Amino acid sequence: MRDSLAQLTLVRFREFFREPDAVFWTFAFPILLASGLGIAFRHRPPELLHVGVRVPAGATAAPPLLAALRGDHRLTVETIDDTAAASALRTGRIALLIVPSADTGAGGRVEYQYDEARTEARTARLIVDDAIQSTGGRRDPVAIGERLVSEPGSRYIDFVVPGLLAMNLMGSGIWGLGFSIVDARRRKLLKRLVATPMSRAEYLASFLISRLGILVLEVLLLLGFARFVFGVPMRGGVLQLTAICLVSALAFGGVGLLIATRARTTEAVNGLMNLVMLPMWIFSGVFFASSNFPAAFQPFIRALPLTAVVNALRLTMLQGAGWHAVAPEMAIAAAWAVGSFAVALRIFRWR
Amino acid sequence: MTSAPALSVRGLRKAYGEVVAVDGLDLDVPAGECFGLLGPNGAGKTTTVEICEGLVDPDGGEVEILGRHWSSNARAIRERIGIALQETQLSDKLTVSETLRLFRSFYPKGRLVEDVIAIVQLEEKRGARVGGLSGGQKQRLAVACALVGDPELLFLDEPTTGLDPQARRQMWELVEQFKATGRTVVLTTHYMEEAERLCERVAIVDRGRIIALGTPRELIRSLGAEHVVEFAGGTGAAGLDASTLGALDGVSGARTDNGAWQLQVTEVHRAIPALLHHLAHRQVELLELRTHSATLEDVFVSLTGRHLRDA
């Protein structure tokens, strides 16, 4: 490496590691966020549904019905009288009220009272009905086998870690270039450097090289933490993950450079960076699936670089998808990298 | 010293919108000379220097530096000139020696970083962060960044503005050391003292043009007076007039500025008695009387009717 490029790159690393704030937001913050989300959404045993069986005051409920419900491990059951029943249902303390008619017995009649708009009420209805009917002697025509699945890869923490990684790559890429360059311009340092025989290409290259170096640390720290603490899987190829990270660093670095091309003050560049990053934080599916947004938004959302990187990382880490599966996403990110650099270099203000 | 000028400027023009910053300016600085551009803030000094440094494109005119032109030989020029801009803030988080190593790496040949640190007397601060340096130390570091490429031509834009007198004197010694190696310096300043001490020749710049050019001695002599007597009068002073005062013994000219009078004086020992006699005769109360050797400031005042500092 030429001495000037080496010196410029060293300067980038020094400036980064001597800024405690930058180090915190780049390395510690994503890990704290992952811990918080991992703990908040940790795996709990399935919740029991609470249902009530109405009994007239002084009477006893039909024993087979109550026994059948209590025998189902998905339910907790209480007996409840007329007046209490209405308020329990209204406040949601019980999901479903079972009203056996007076002449209960074989061939008897049962009424379910519930709010159809509530998911757990509908679930309770299915479970209660299943318990009552099968105890009553219903024979299922189709034999059902069940195998319960709960493994790493399908939990919220698994979903969110690739999102956090992508968000971090975006943040540090855009900040790393955008803010540093505008700050150098504001200080007239850029002007001073341009007055030397310094190669402008090497100046910009030093930002990219240092970005890639910091990126290795960022990725290793966050993914290592997620793996050892939460057991977040890494099913795809490491080479493929590396390639995705590289392309995304270039894409976000390019966007950062583009943001920094003209701005003269750090206030202006802060505003621009937020303007660019905010829509991606919201739309790109970092914290929840971007498919929740209306269909009309989807082409726009898919074209965002953060969406592409989030999707490529999830496909690779969680599904173990191969190169061909992430190719479209990588093409989108690469297009951002090429496009933003081409425009930025054309309109860059060196003074 | 070679005969080719280190810097030659012809018909330089630059306007920012309606404001004409440089208005047809010519300069010739022979190699080995320390040349000063002297003028008030906004006179066009910085724009002129930044055009010479290749940082601003002129609207018209030509610049030749060390026999080369910016259009065809920019890199070669940059390798041979050193620059200290008016207000560069070097990176606060780097140390003095890291900053200089960075600048040194841009030049194919230059001086040892340690040598330059010694020249600017920052040995004790070589491991200190730039953010913790004083104003004078920062300014010396800025000059060190200009020296590290071993330039033949050094541009210093207001090198001592905002420095305390001691830091200013250190900076002057630095420039004098560089001059002693026989190389060329172009500096801008609005301190006369600085121009008189450092510069072989001075161009007084006002409104984008050179209004006087010569050695500090020549310029002062062009006043036709070696000394300046300033006085302010109380009651009765309103009746004084410039032509009478200017005709006093030993006085070559007189002007007034808000009731403060300034006399250009060839012979102080004759002018003062004449002045006192005149004031006593006119029954003018004397509130203030000062005399000093004529400076470039007086030259500027006599040329423009304004003071350098508040022009």
Could you count the other beta carbons within 10 Å of the beta carbon of residue A14? 17
Q: How confident is the model at residue A224 (pLDDT cuts 50, 70, 90)?
A: very high
Give pLDDT, residue B237: 81
- The answer to whether the CB of B13 falls within 8 A of the CB of B22 is yes
Question: Of the candidates A13, A24, A73, A14, which has an alpha carbon nearest to the alpha carbon of residue A46?
Answer: A73
pLDDT tens for residues B66-77?
A: 999 999 999 999
Q: How confident is the model at residue A278 (pLDDT cuts 50, 70, 90)?
A: very high
The pair of structure tokens assigned to A332 is: 């989108």
Residues of chain B neighbouring A14 (CB-CB closer than 8 A): 93-94, 98
| Residue A277 in this model has a pLDDT that exceeds 50 | yes
Residues of chain B neighbouring A194 (CB-CB closer than 8 A): 55
Instruction: Tell me if chain B has a CB within 8 Å of the CB of A189.
Output: yes
Instruction: Give the CA distances from residue A24 to residues A238, B114, B188, in Å, rounded to whole numbers and listed in that order.
Output: 26, 35, 44
pLDDT tens for residues A66-79?
A: 888 888 888 888 88
pLDDT tens for residues B164-180?
A: 899 899 999 999 999 99
Q: Which residues contact B267 (CB under 8 A, 6 or more apart)?
A: B250
**Cα–Cα–Cα angle for B49, B55, B60, rounded to 5 degrees:** 75
- The answer to whether the CB of B301 falls within 8 A of the CB of B262 is yes
**Residue B66 DSSP one-character state:** T
Question: Of the candidates B3, B296, B29, B62, which has an alpha carbon nearest to the alpha carbon of residue B185?
Answer: B29
Question: Of the candidates A223, A211, A122, A228, which has an alpha carbon nearest to the alpha carbon of residue A175?
Answer: A211
CA dihedral B212, B217, B221, B222 (to 10 degrees): -10
The pair of structure tokens assigned to B193 is: 């003292």
Rounded Cα gap, residues A228 and A183, in angstroms: 38
- The answer to whether the CB of B122 falls within 8 A of the CB of B137 is yes
Contact assignment for B88 to A191 by CB distance below 8 Å? yes
Closest alpha carbon within chain B to A180: B91
First-to-final CA distance of chain B: 37
| Residue A191 in this model has a pLDDT that exceeds 90 | yes
Rounded Cα gap, residues B122 and A234, in angstroms: 53
Alpha helices in chain A (DSSP H): 3-17, 20-23, 29-40, 63-70, 82-91, 119-135, 156-186, 189-194, 200-230, 238-260, 266-283, 298-303, 305-319, 323-347
Closest alpha carbon within chain A to B147: A196
Nearest CB among B89, B91, B106 relative to A196 is that of B106
Expressed in percent and rounded to 5, the helix, strand and coil fractions of chain B are 35, 30, 35
Q: How confident is the model at residue B54 (pLDDT cuts 50, 70, 90)?
A: very high
pLDDT tens for residues A333-350?
A: 999 999 999 999 899 998
Q: What are phi and psi of B90, to 5 degrees?
A: -70, 165
Instruction: Tell me if chain B has a CB within 8 Å of the CB of A201.
Output: no
Nearest CB among B78, B91, B98 relative to A189 is that of B91
What is the arrangement of strands in the sheet containing B60-65, beginning at the earlier edge strand? B19-30, B5-16, B60-65
Q: How confident is the model at residue A155 (pLDDT cuts 50, 70, 90)?
A: confident
- Interface A:B, Cβ pairs < 8 A: 67
Q: Which residues pair with B84 in a beta bridge?
A: B156
Question: Of the candidates B284, B244, B283, which has an alpha carbon nearest to the alpha carbon of residue B263?
Answer: B244
Q: How confident is the model at residue A80 (pLDDT cuts 50, 70, 90)?
A: confident
Beta strand extents in chain B (DSSP E only): 5-16, 19-30, 34-38, 60-65, 81-84, 153-157, 184-189, 201-206, 209-214, 227-233, 251-257, 260-265, 286-293
Residues of chain B neighbouring A191 (CB-CB closer than 8 A): 55, 85, 88
Q: What is the mean pLDDT of residues A297-318?
A: 94
Rounded Cα gap, residues A339 and B142, in angstroms: 37
Interface of B with A in 54-73 (CB under 8 A): 54-56
Q: How confident is the model at residue B64 (pLDDT cuts 50, 70, 90)?
A: very high
Give pLDDT, residue B304: 80
- The answer to whether the CB of B149 falls within 8 A of the CB of B79 is yes
Side chain identity at residue B198, one-letter code: L
HSE on the CB side for A185, CA within 13 Å?
21
Kindly state the percentage of chain A with pLDDT values over 90: 56
Instruction: Give the CA distances from residue B28 to residues A316, A341, B9, B150, in Å, rounded to whole numbers and listed in that order.
Output: 67, 42, 6, 22
* Cα–chain center distance at B277: 39
Question: Of the candidates A102, A60, A105, A111, which has an alpha carbon nearest to the alpha carbon of residue A81?
Answer: A60
Question: Of the candidates A254, A238, A241, which has an alpha carbon nearest to the alpha carbon of residue A165?
Answer: A241
Q: Which residues pair with B187 in a beta bridge?
A: B36, B156
- In angstroms, the separation between the Cα of residue A259 and the nearest Cα of chain B is 21
- The answer to whether the CB of A248 falls within 8 A of the CB of A169 is yes
Could you count the other beta carbons within 10 Å of the beta carbon of residue B13? 16
pLDDT tens for residues A157-176?
A: 899 999 999 999 999 999 98
Instruction: Tell me if chain B has a CB within 8 Å of the CB of A8.
Output: yes
- The answer to whether the CB of B275 falls within 8 A of the CB of B248 is yes
Q: How confident is the model at residue B192 (pLDDT cuts 50, 70, 90)?
A: confident
Q: How confident is the model at residue B6 (pLDDT cuts 50, 70, 90)?
A: very high
**Cα–Cα–Cα angle for A52, A57, A60, rounded to 5 degrees:** 70
**Residue A286 DSSP one-character state:** S
Q: What is the mean pLDDT of residues A183-199?
A: 93
Q: What is the DSSP string of B241-255?
A: -HHHHHTSTTEEEEE
